[in-house]
Each structure stands twice: as C-alpha cells, then as structure tokens.
Amino acid sequence: MPVPLHFQTLAELADRLAKREISSLELTRAVISRTEAVEKSVRAFNSRDAADALAQAEASDARRAAGQSRGPLDGIPVGLKDVIAVKDQPLTASSRMLANFVSPYDGTVTTRLRRAGAVLWGRLNCDEFAMGSSTENSAFHPTSNPWDLTCVPGGSSGGSSAALAAGEAIATLGSDTGGSIRQPAALCGVVGLKPTYGLVSRFGLVAYASSLDQIGPMTRTVEDAAILLGAIAGHDERDSTSLRVEIPDYRAELAGRRGPWRIGIPREYFGAGLDPEVAAAVERAVEYYRGLGCEVRPVSLPHTEHCLDTYYIIATAEASSNLARYDGVRYGHRSTKAKDIVDLYFQSRAEGFGAEVKRRIILGTYVLSSGYYDAFYLRAQKVRTLIRRDFLDAFRGVDVLLTPTSPIPAFKLGEKTDPLAMYLCDIYTIGVNLAGLPAISVPCGFTGTGLPIGFQLIGRPLDESGLLAAAHAYDRVHAWGRKTPSL
Amino acid sequence: MSLSPSSPSATCYEAVIGLEVHVQIKAASKVFASVGTGYGHEPNTLTDPVVLALPGALPVMNKAALDAIIKAGLLLGCRISPVCKWDRKNYFYPDSPKNYQISQYDLPVCLGGEVEIELAGPSRNVMGEHKRIPLTRIHLEEDVGKLSHGTIDSLVDYNRAGTPLMEIVSEPALHSAEEAYAYLTSLRATMIYGGISDCDMEKGQLRCDANISIRPVGEKKLGTKVELKNLNSISFVRDGIAHEIRRQVALLERGGVITQETRDYDGTTGTSQSLRSKEEAHDYRYFPDPDLMPLAVDEAWKERIRATCPELPFHKQRRFLEQYQLPYTLTSVLVWDRALADYFEEAAGLCGKAQAAGNWIVNDLLRELGNAKATLAECRVAPRQLAELVKLVDAGTLITASAREVFTEMFATGDDPGVIADRRGLKSAAADGNELEQWCRDSIAANPKALAEFKAGKDSAINAFKGPVMKAAKGKANPKAVDETLRRLLANS
C-alpha cells in the first residue's frame, strides 16, 4: 500500500509538487482531512484555520503554475507551536492569560516560512508558556502521544511532535529552552533539532527564557530538518541576539559530508535513571556509527550534575521578568474582580496563569531578589560558563557527542505529579541550551511496548551542517521517523 | 552655604543636595523600537509590538540614542565606558508596558564628569563665582508612558514609552537652592548646545528629582536624605529645594527626626507631602537584559562623536571676553543661545567691530525678536546685513538715529541696509565732498564772531558752524565729515 500523502516526507512531497504529480491543494486537503479524522484522539492543535490553509495552498499552486515556485517548502503544510506569532491568528502560549489574544504581527520565522511558500497550518498545543515536559501544563487540554493515546507526547512542544507523528502536518516548528523540541521528538518518534543559540530569530517567539529559547524544526527525517532549518535560519535585525552568519545549503551539505566522525560518549549521560530499553537502543545506534568507521570514545562533562539547578535558576529568573508583561492592562486576561490597579495585577495573574508558570515566576523572582542575587543568579551564570567550557573541551577531541535524548520513553498522562520528577525528563537536553549548542534528536527504535526512542547528537557551535550530516548518516538508513502509528 | 539659626543658640546647618536629572534624547525613533517619537500626537499612535510589549516582541538598540549619550558624556567630561550593557529594572506599574524598564545598572555609558556652574555675581555686570559640580554617572534608559487619572478609571498613553532617556546623576555636591538652579541652567544649555535634547520642561523633556539632606556645619557625615519629586520647572526646583531645606531645619530645631522618604513638591502651592517611606522602596531585581548584547564603544566611535561636539557656553564666554574684548554683560546674553552666539561671531567677523555688533544684537535684534515673538531662526536679518549696517554707521554713512530706523525696516523686510537707506534717503551726504565744502564755507562766512572765537583758541566755537551746515544738508551730513571739513577750512582761513 502506498504511503498516504499526510505521512510522506517533506523532501518527497517537495519533489512530487515540483513534478506536478500532486498539487498543494491536494496535499493540504489530505492533511486537513487526516487532522479531522484523528484530532479528536490526539488533540495536538489549539486552533486551526482550514480555510486560511486552503487559500495559502491555492496561492502556492498558482505560483507554481506561473513558474514562480519558491522552492522545496512551497505548498507544504507546516504546523507552528502556539508560541510563534502568526498575523491574525491566535497566539495563546496554551495559557488562559492569552486565550483570546490574536497576534497583529508575524514573527520572523513566520515571515520566512511565508517567503518560502509554506502553508502555515494550525496553532499547536504545548505546555503553558513552554514550561513543562509533557504538554499537560497546557491550560486548554493535554495532547496524546499518537503511539499510545494514554501516554504524553513529551513537551513542551508536544503538539508539534504529536501532530507530526499523527500525520496532521508534514513538518512543524517547536521551541526549545531546555529540551522542548528534542524530548517530544524522541517521545513521538520524529526528528527534532535545536539550533545554535542565535541561529534562528526569536522575534515573534513568546519569550520563556530569552538566553535559552530557540525555535527549531521537527520533521520525519533529518533531511527534512535540513530543508526546514535552511528556510528559517539567518540573521535578523529585529533580534539583537541573532548571529551574523552565512547560512549554508544544509540539505546540499548532507551529501557532501560523509564522516567518519569522532563520536564522544559523555559518561555522565548514561548513569542512574536511564531506562534500560532506551540505553540499549542508543547503544545500537552507537554500534552503527562504529560500523561506519567512526571512532567512538568516552568523554566527560564534569559539571553535568549542576545543569538542572543552573537551568532552573537562569530560566526562571528570565521568565519572572519576561512574563511580567501579562498584567491584564493592555491585552490578555483581565480579572473582572479587581478593586484597584494592584489588585488587577494580582487577580488577573492569579486567574490567568497555571500552577507551573506561577511556580517558575515565584522561583525566578526569589533568585533575583536583593540579597539573593549573588548566591543564585550570579553563581548560576558562572556555573553556566563552566558547563559550556565542558562541552567545548570535549569538542577538542570529538566532532559530535552522542547521548540518549530522554532518560525514559513516553510516560502515562497524569503519571508524573511531582514537578521535580518532571524536571528530570530534561536532564540530557538542558546542558545543550545552557551551552548554546546545536543538538538533534533522531529516532532510533521502539520499546517492547511500541513507544519510540530517540538519541541525541550534540554539535559544535554553528556546526549544524556537520551535526545534520552525522545524524543523516544514521537516519537515511534506519528512517525510524517514517514509521507510522495506527490510529 | 550655612543656614543661619533662627535663635542664637541653635546650630548652623549646611544643605547637601544631589540631583537626578532625566533628559529625553531628541531622536527620530524610540530607544529599542523603530517607531517614531514625538509630543502631542493622538494617544497610543506612536506604538508598535515592541513598545506595547506584545508577546514575542524584542528590543533592538537605537544607535542614534547611544551617539547622543556619548556626546553628552564627552561634553561633560565623563569617561565613556568601553563596554556598556543593558539591565532590566523590574517593577509593576501600568505606564511601563513590559513591567520592567530597560536601563543600565552597573555599566552606565558615562562615568564621572562635571557640570560647570556660575552663581549670581554682585551685580549683573559682574561675573559671579564659578564651580564645577562633579557627576556620578549618566546612563541610558527608556521613558515610560503617561497616565491620566479620571474619577473612576485611569487612562494610559504609550506614545512616550520607549523614548530614549538619559539619567544624569550628580554627586551630593550642591549646597543651596541657587546652586541647584545654576546647575540645571548650565546642564540644560549644554544639552541644547549639543543638540542632544530640546529640554522643554513643559513637554517633560527635562525632569528633575532632588536628594536633600542637612547637617551641622563642620559635620562630615551626611544627614538623612529626602527625595523630592515632580520638580517640573527650574524655578520649582529652586523653590522646592529651598522649601525642603527650611522644612528639615525647622524639624530638627523642634527636636524632630528626619525620616528617609520620598516627597512630592507642589510648585503652585509651595508645599510638599510624603509619597512613600524607605520601607516601601522597591526591590527592582536588576539583572542583565538577555535580549540585548553588551556593546563596545571604541575610540573611533568616540572620535566620530567628538568631532560633532560644540564649544560649551562657558568656554565660549571666556573666549568672547578674551578674543572680542566684549563686556561681561554682552557675553552673558550672547553665549547661552548657540545660534545667537554663532550669529554674533559671523557678524563681528564680517564687520570687524565686535562690540558694536554685539550691542546691535543684544539691544536691537533681541528687542525686535521679542516684540515679534519670533525666534532667531525666523529672523530675516542675516549676519552679513547686520555687519553692513555696523559698517555704514562706522563709516559715518548713517547716523545712529537713522541706523535704528534702517534696522527696523531690515527686520521687517529683510532688505539690505544700503538699499533701505537709499530708498529712504537716510544716507549722510558725506559722499558729495564739493557740496559739503560749499555749505561749510558759507557757514564760516556767515559767522565772523565764531570764527574769531575759534581763532582765539575756543575750540567749542566750531559747533556754531555745524548747525547751518546740517540744516543745509537737511540733517543728512555725516557729522564726522562736517567736523573734518570745517577744521580744514578754518585752519586755512
């Protein structure tokens, strides 16, 4: 049986659109009808606008007919996490606070996707303000893992990973502050790339932790990730943290770089808490690389044990300030019970934010407070420097680092009630954000009960080309991301 | 300054004042957004996603604002920090769209520096004492929006939010309300001179808070300070500080204790009231803004700005006194308005008669401008034309009374003085030597008595000949030429 359109890869569909075997309208209709069929059980979307998507698809087909195709993304339905601004579409960050907010502007990645001709499709669910690892912190509804509807899809970009795995989009964008692209990618059996900090503009991304947030692609194959990254990466005047770098043709570079790579295995990433089935699948991936002639050697990232603490100081400090703008004054949820302006702040924020968001705002406010700043925030920044140094030291001897993406496969919805247990889901992904490095999660098999597993490759700063090539060397042969769940 | 006690046994107190002055930078766009700045626009029209702090919006530094603060720093002799960074000052208030203000905490653009001030002299003709008031720092931040309070609700206008704002912090080195007044006057002139700000206090382009304490004369330790806010004119600053010093002295003399607090001064009633005590002070939770990168200010950048720095008023005044030998009163009018000083220098240079040019400007030009409620920029008399007028008077072609008449018409029409004098027949007849000589001969011939007196050595007798000459010339004879011609003829007769 041929693979239905909604489960094909971006590269394949681009090829078929270019050959006029299919139209964007046909493809977009297929994705929409698939979504209508499975969304009731997956619940990956916060909102979607089929009429708008179909109009974009028609425009794409018209361009192509006029010989003005904009490249491989032209006509491809791409879903966006509901923290990325799309003009005239809701932008909720899965929060009650922004439940009725409609963005009056396009974020930079949105503009770039439009310029590449992509069909922007839907607003994808996530943990509220991207804070969480299961998408259960969404104020609206949880999202199910398409491989097991009783399990979480990971988070915070769980809507993005679930929609992709369920065939409700051809590719999606997520955002990653401590693992929020890679962990849900691993849990849903798709590819997720967090680019080097500063490679992709954050303008139009609802800020959680500014010094850690990055937007990145989630796709079925590494090749697809290379295509999508190429469309969104590059310097942006509107983001002061955006890097002035040349953007190579990532997809073309995949073929040019064949390794072998020197692969480092950080011993701190294979300790207690790692699920044996995950460990075994990752070990098989390592063996594959060894078989390609890659040199695999153990390395050490000695400050790994401090990553989680450091992250929860820096990220919450920045969040406490970033989320101060949600006050009910200019937009967003405004309490009707308020007696005065201070009460308006209290009531609106009490009603508008969920428990995890409040927890992080309180933590962040605390660590920045007079008398605590030096002991917490300043110290965390110093440790952050040490963590980055660990990685850069390791990269003196190896080209990439290989680790599990998540210590465990998808867990049951409602299973993790202790916030600390939830925080541990990101133990292998957080260091990468603190160090500002690029990293990719590549699907590498399934557990005995059929839950996806992913491994993580971590690259040198701005070496997305090398990272993608190394990941592609595995993925082009194994292609676990092409497997489809039965829904 | 020591404050005299109200009774002989009481202590003499010294006031210690530090000023925090906010100056809006004149810039086309906001400090972290590309939308324009301005005053008096429809509320909330000078906004964009960044100014309104919409989800996902990010700040981007406006380099023109940084140029301006570097210029301010260079003009005031500050050290320009080689690296400056941006910090978030966190507090909730509806005029602050992000509920944090982007400011600078530990690495301001400018450190140190000083403001030269002049205190009132013994009379307005005599230069007063000069002092140099040291500055602590100048940093850049964003202005907030404006609230207007109704009876049941409050409205907020974000047009002003994000306008680049400098905070200029002085050391606690001022000791009287008059010094504070002189400080603000000088600082304001410097900012206007540099084209950094228009410093219109009515439009909130310059705002001042004062930290005031008093201590017994001779005491080294500072007293408890009170912050005075909402001093929205330079006179209110002076009056408010004087009032606060009196309040503190009276309080101590009654045996009271000064508490650290912020007080609001009402300039119209001349009273103040407590806004908040120290216990209610905010914890601003400053931390480096992760959305903005630290910025290196290199030598080349500083040099580029330095090349645009004008001569400061006091430097100009010293030069005018020296170079043009102007009296102090003229300089004290000319130097405070950069355009006026430039006007003067151009006219003085063209006519070579600095004091005459200065007098024309200070007495006549400013009077006419005042009457017409016009600015120098609108003035139709070019410095070249004023210089020509000075030259005409100096050459004797115009007598002073006629020159005044000519000037009035120059001001009204913008025509050249020579053209006006011709048109109105005001030029002295000196040019026609033969005619003048004949009138002089006639006058001498008609008055033998005066001739005899003159010959006998009574020099003033010559005046008796001048009247008939002037009458014959219908008042247009050049008095100098008349005098010279008469003497020549008298010597030969």
For chain B, say whether A321 makes contact (Cβ under 8 Å).
yes
For residue A13, the model assigns a pLDDT of 98
Nearest to B77 by CA among B315, B378, B251: B315
Collapsed DSSP state (helix, strand, coil) of residue A239: coil
Most confident residue range from B7-11, B184-188, B479-483: B184-188
The two tokens of residue A429 are: 């992904």
Least CB–CB distance from A241: residue in B94, B286, B293: B293
Residues of chain B with Cβ-Cβ distance to A317 below 8 Å are 287
Q: Does the distance separating the beta carbons of A207 and B92 come in below 8 Å?
A: no
| A5-262+463-482 CATH | 3.90.1300.10
Pairing of strands B110-111, B130-142: antiparallel
- Residue B150: the pLDDT is 87
Considering only residues B146 and B281, tell me which one the structure prediction assigns the higher pLDDT. Answer: B146
B282 CB neighbours in chain A (<8 A) are none
What is the C-alpha to C-alpha distance for residues A83 and B280, in angstroms, rounded to an integer?
36
Q: Per-residue pLDDT for B420 more than 80?
A: yes
Taking contacts as CB-CB distances below 8 angstroms, the residues of chain B near A373 are: 285, 287
Alpha-carbon distance of A352 to A166, in angstroms, equals 30
Cβ contact (<8 Å) for A207 and B56? yes
Helix, strand or coil, per DSSP, at residue A121: strand
Q: Which two tokens stand for residue A35?
A: 């979504």
- The verdict on a CB contact (< 8 Å) between A317 and B49 is no
**Ramachandran bin of A398, using left for φ above 0, alpha for ψ from -120 to 50, beta for the remaining angles:** beta
State how far Cα B149 lies from the chain centre: 34
* Residue B304 reports pLDDT greater than 50: yes
Residue B429 in this model has a pLDDT that exceeds 60: no
Provide φ and ψ at A208, rounded to 5°: -105, -70
Which tokens in the block code for residue A1?
A: 């049986």
Please judge whether A321 and B100 are an interchain contact, meaning their C-beta atoms are less than 8 angstroms apart.
Answer: yes
Could you give the residue ranges of the DSSP H alpha helices within B165-294? 177-193, 234-253
Per-domain boundaries in chain A: 5-262+463-482, 305-382
Q: What angle do CA B169, B171, B173 make, to 5 degrees?
A: 130
Measure CB to CB from residue A205 to each of B56, B60, B100 and give the nearest one: B56
Q: Is B138 left (phi over 0), alpha (psi -120 to 50) or beta?
A: beta
DSSP 3-state of A35: helix
User: How far does Cα A238 stand from its chain's mean position?
Assistant: 22
Q: How far is CA B471 from CA A325, B30, B329, B468, B481, in A?
A: 85, 69, 38, 5, 15
Query: What pairs with residue A120 in β-bridges?
Result: A78
Predicted pLDDT at B3: 59
Cα separation, A316 vs B90, in Å, equals: 14
How much is the pLDDT for B481? 80
- The least confident of A378-382, B427-431, B432-436 is B427-431
Strand A191-194 and strand A439-446: the pairing is antiparallel
Residue A340's closest chain B neighbor by CA?
B153
- Is the pLDDT at B19 greater than 80, yes or no? yes
Contact call for B156 and A329, based on CB within 8 A: yes
Find the mean pLDDT for residues B131-139.
98
Q: What is the DSSP string of B40-79?
A: SPSTT-S--TTTTT-TT------HHHHHHHHHHHHHTTPE
B402 cis-preceded (ω within 30 degrees of 0): no
Asked if the Cβ–Cβ distance from B99 to A369 is below 8 Å, we say no
**Are the Cβ atoms of B156 and A327 closer than 8 angstroms?**
no
Task: Find the helix or strand (DSSP H, E) in which A226 lies.
Answer: helix A222-232
Which among B61, B97, B285 has CB closest to A330?
A: B97
Residue with tokens 């766009």: B29
Rounded CA gap, B39 and B43, in Å? 10
Residue B131 structure tokens: 């002092």
pLDDT at position B427 is: 79
- CB-CB under 8 Å, A203 with B90: no
* Angle (deg, nearest 10), helices A158-165 and A24-42: 120
Predicted pLDDT of residue B396: 79
Q: What is the pLDDT, as a whole number, of residue A258?
A: 80
Q: What is the DSSP string of A381-414?
A: HHHHHHHHHHHHHHTTT-SEEEEESSSS---BTT
Return the structure tokens found at A51: 């009429």
Are B343 and B335 spatial neighbours (Cβ–Cβ below 8 Å)?
no
In contact, A410 and A370? CB cutoff 8 Å = no
Q: Is A365 on the interface with B (CB under 8 A)?
A: yes
| Rounded Cα–Cα distance for residues A124 and A160 (Å) | 6
Assess B291–A contact: CB distance below 8 Å, yes or no.
yes
For each of chain A's 487 residues, which pLDDT tens digit applies? 789 999 999 999 999 999 999 999 999 999 999 999 999 999 999 999 999 999 999 999 999 999 999 999 999 999 999 999 999 999 999 999 999 999 999 999 999 999 999 999 999 999 999 999 999 999 999 999 999 999 999 999 999 999 999 999 999 999 999 999 999 999 999 999 999 999 999 999 999 999 999 999 999 999 999 999 999 999 999 999 999 999 999 999 998 878 899 999 999 999 889 999 999 999 999 999 999 999 999 999 999 999 999 999 999 999 999 999 999 999 999 999 999 989 999 999 999 999 999 999 999 999 999 889 999 999 999 999 999 999 999 999 999 999 999 999 999 999 999 998 899 999 999 999 999 999 999 999 999 999 999 999 999 999 999 999 999 999 999 999 999 999 8
Share of chain B above pLDDT 70, in %: 96
B58 touches chain A (CB under 8 A): yes
Nearest Cβ partner of B58 from A240, A321, A368? A240
Looking at residue A100, what is its pLDDT? 96
Pairwise CA distance, residues B6 & B8, whole Å: 7
CB-based contacts of A62, cutoff 8 Å, min separation 6? none
**B49 in contact with A, Cβ within 8 Å:** yes
- Chain B residues whose beta carbon lies within 8 Å of the beta carbon of residue A331: 52, 54
Q: CA of A212, closest CA in chain B: separation in Å? A: 9
Are B167 and B141 in contact by the 8 Å Cβ rule? The answer is yes
**Numbered ranges of CATH 1.10.10.410 in chain B:** 430-492
In 3D space, the residue among B132, B123, B161 whose CA is nearest the CA of residue B41 turns out to be B161
Determine the length of chain B. Answer: 493
Decide if A65 touches B, using CB distance below 8 A. Answer: no
Q: Which tokens go with A381?
A: 């920044």
Angstrom distance (rounded) from CA B99 to CA A365: 13
Which tokens sit at B391? Answer: 């030259």
Interhelix angle for A464-478 vs A276-291, to 10°? 100
Bridging pattern class, strands A452-458 and A400-404: antiparallel
H/E element, A435: helix A430-435
Find all residues with CB under 8 Å of B228, minimum gap 6, and list them. Answer: B209, B210, B211, B212, B240, B241, B244, B262, B263, B264, B265, B272
Residue B17 to chain A, least CA–CA distance (Å): 27
From its phi and psi, is residue B190 left (phi > 0), alpha (psi between -120 and 50) or beta?
A: alpha
Q: Which of A69-78, A140-149, B410-419, B459-468 has the lowest mean pLDDT?
A: B459-468
Chain-chain contact of A317 with B92 (C-beta, under 8 angstroms): no
C-alpha B131/C-alpha B115 separation (Å) is: 8
Please report which helix (H) or strand (E) contains residue B18, including its range.
strand B13-24
The hierarchical CATH code for the domain B430-492 is 1.10.10.410
Has A81 been annotated as catalytic? yes
Q: Testing the interface with B: which of A212, A327, A347, A365 to mutate, by most B Cβ within 10 A? A: A327
Whether residue A101 lies within 8 A of chain B, CB to CB, comes out as: yes
Which of A103, A325, A361 would you mutate first to test chain B, the one with the most B CBs within 10 A? Answer: A325
Laid out side by side, the sheet with B287-288 consists of B100-103, B87-90, B287-288
> What values do phi and psi take at A8, rounded to 5?
-80, 165
Q: Do B285 and A345 touch (CB under 8 A)?
A: no
Using alpha carbons only, how large is chain A's radius of gyration in Å? 21
Residue B20 phi, psi dihedral angles, 5° rounding: -115, 110
Rounded CA separation A62/A76 (Å): 14
- Residue B129 contacts residue B175 (beta carbons within 8 Å): no
End-to-end CA distance of chain B: 72
User: Does residue A144 sit in helix, strand or coil?
Assistant: coil
Q: What are phi and psi of A94, to 5 degrees?
A: 55, 35
d(CA A76, CA A367): 44
Do the chains contact at A370 and B283, CB–CB below 8 Å? yes
Cβ contact, residue pair B56, A239, below 8 Å: no
**A480/chain B closest Cα distance in angstroms:** 34
Q: CA of B86: how far to CAs of A237, A375, B142, in Å?
A: 18, 21, 11
The rounded Cα A248 to chain-centroid distance in angstroms is 21
Under 8 Å between Cβ of A210 and A457:
no
- How many other CB atoms sit within 10 Å of the CB of residue B154? 13
State the burial class of residue B493 (Cβ atoms within 10 Å of its Cβ: 0-12, 13-18, 19+). Answer: exposed
The pLDDT of residue B4: 54
Tokens of B250: 């009276």
Handedness of CA B23, B25, B29, B30 (dihedral sign): negative
pLDDT value, residue B200? 93
Task: Give the three-class secondary structure for A34.
Answer: helix
Task: Report phi then psi at A454, rounded to 5.
Answer: -130, 150
Judged by a CB distance cut-off of 8 A, whether residue B450 touches chain A is no
Distance from CA of B233 to the nearest CA of A (A): 29
| Cα nearest neighbour of A369 on chain B | B285
Q: Is A156 a catalytic residue?
A: yes
pLDDT at B1 over 50: no
Question: Which residue among the candidates A160, A180, A201, A406 is catalytic per the annotation?
Answer: A180
Query: Would you say A17 and A64 are in contact if contact means Cβ atoms under 8 Å apart?
Result: yes
The number of residues making up chain A comes to 487
Chain B nearest CA to A50, separation (Å): 24
Is A341 close to B98, i.e. CB distance below 8 A?
no
Do A330 and B57 meet the contact criterion of CB atoms below 8 Å apart? no
**Inter-chain contact B97–A204, Cβ cutoff 8 Å?**
no
pLDDT exceeds 90 at position B426: no
Residues 201-230 of A with CB under 8 A from B: 202-207, 209-211
Phi, psi values for residue A46, rounded to 5° = -85, -35
- Output A250 or B474, whichever has higher pLDDT: A250
User: Per-residue DSSP letters for B361-393?
Assistant: IIIIIHHHHHHHT--GGG----HHHHHHHHHHH
